[in-house]
């Protein structure tokens, strides 16, 4: 082996080793994330408890709860779209329970039914506590003309409806043709397998380029 080949060879070996190690790290992260998602799924499906007096957004996220009380009719609509159903809204409504004003995400209703009358006969809500992270710098302000909101901005919704910033996402029907949209783990991304494939692919490319460079060098030294 000529001296001219030593540095490219070392560079190729080290670079390939680094890329492979990054791919292995992503596989380790994949196993960790799958375990985390399994824990979230188990918690979502657990038996409901009463709503804590001071829920914690981190410790109580996805906590299954049950609340007794009544819907007040005070609500706002958040624009959303469903596959095969088209545009509609999430109905966010105030639920009075034991002297507290909580928010309930009743679920989806098509745009055409948005103005239909809704009764407040529901006396029990079963669902999961949630603190959606849907607002960013590009989220429009609520449309004052149509009353539509474009994200579940919990602090702003609570202020608008004079309620606690506590949201129960219903997991069973609350009537009036509103389809529940229960929480799941979809807001916890798990892209580690894709990242691992990318790193391993780059390692193959790096290795191939190293082999080609060494071949070119060997041709010049013949």
pLDDT in tens, 17-63: 999 999 999 999 989 888 888 888 888 889 999 999 999 999 999 99
Same-domain status, 160 and 94: yes
- CA 181 to CA 119: how far, in whole Å? 19
Whether residue 176 is found in the same domain as residue 202: no
Statement to judge: residues 33 and 140 lie in one domain: no
216 and 200 within one domain? yes
User: What are the φ/ψ torsions at residue 53 (nearest 5 degrees)?
Assistant: -65, -35
Burial string for 78-88 (b: 16+ CB within 10 Å, else e) reads bbbeeeeeeeb
Q: Are residues 35 and 88 in the same domain?
A: no
Task: Tell me, yes or no, whether 205 lies in a domain.
Answer: yes
Shared domain check, 148 and 118: yes
Q: Which residues of the chain have pLDDT under 70?
A: 1-2, 84-85, 221-222
Q: Are residues 99 and 174 in the same domain?
A: yes
- Count the domains in the chain: 2
pLDDT at 123: 87
**Domain shared by 122 and 172, yes or no:** yes
* Parent domain of 197: 3-42+189-221
Establish if 52 belongs to a structural domain: no
B/e letters for 181-212, b = 16+ CB within 10 Å, e = fewer, are bbbebeeeeeebeebbeebbebbeebbeebee
58: number of Cβ within 10 Å: 7
Q: Does 57 fall in a domain? A: no
Give the per-residue pLDDT at 1: 57
Residue 178 and residue 68 share a domain: yes
Query: What tokens does 81 get?
Result: 């779209």
- The answer to whether residues 77 and 91 touch, using CB atoms and an 8 Å cutoff, is yes
Beta strands in 83-177 (DSSP E): 86-97, 100-110, 124-130, 148-149, 167-170
Give the pLDDT confidence score for residue 153 in this predicted structure.
Answer: 95
């Amino acid at each position: 082996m000529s001296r001219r080949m030593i540095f490219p060879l070392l560079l190729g070996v080290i670079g390939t080793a680094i890329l492979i190690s990054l791919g292995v790290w992503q596989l380790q992260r994949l196993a960790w994330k799958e375990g985390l998602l399994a824990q979230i799924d188990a918690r979502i499906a657990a038996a409901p408890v009463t709503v804590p007096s001071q829920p914690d957004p981190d410790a109580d996220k996805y906590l299954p709860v049950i609340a007794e009380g009544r819907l007040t009719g005070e609500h706002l609509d958040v624009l959303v779209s469903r596959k095969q159903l088209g545009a509609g809204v999430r109905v966010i409504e105030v639920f009075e329970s034991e002297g507290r004003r909580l928010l309930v995400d009743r679920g989806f209703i098509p745009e055409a039914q948005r103005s239909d009358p809704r009764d407040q006969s529901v006396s029990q809500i079963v669902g999961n506590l949630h603190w959606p992270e849907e607002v960013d710098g590009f989220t429009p302000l609520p449309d004052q003309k149509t009353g539509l909101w474009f994200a579940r901005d919990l602090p702003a919704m609570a202020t608008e409806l004079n309620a606690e910033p506590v949201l129960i996402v219903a997991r069973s029907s609350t009537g009036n043709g509103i389809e529940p949209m229960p929480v799941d783990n979809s807001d916890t991304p798990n892209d580690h397998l894709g990242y691992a494939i990318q790193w391993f692919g780059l390692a193959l490319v790096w290795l191939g380029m190293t082999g080609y460079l060494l071949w070119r060098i060997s041709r010049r030294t013949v």
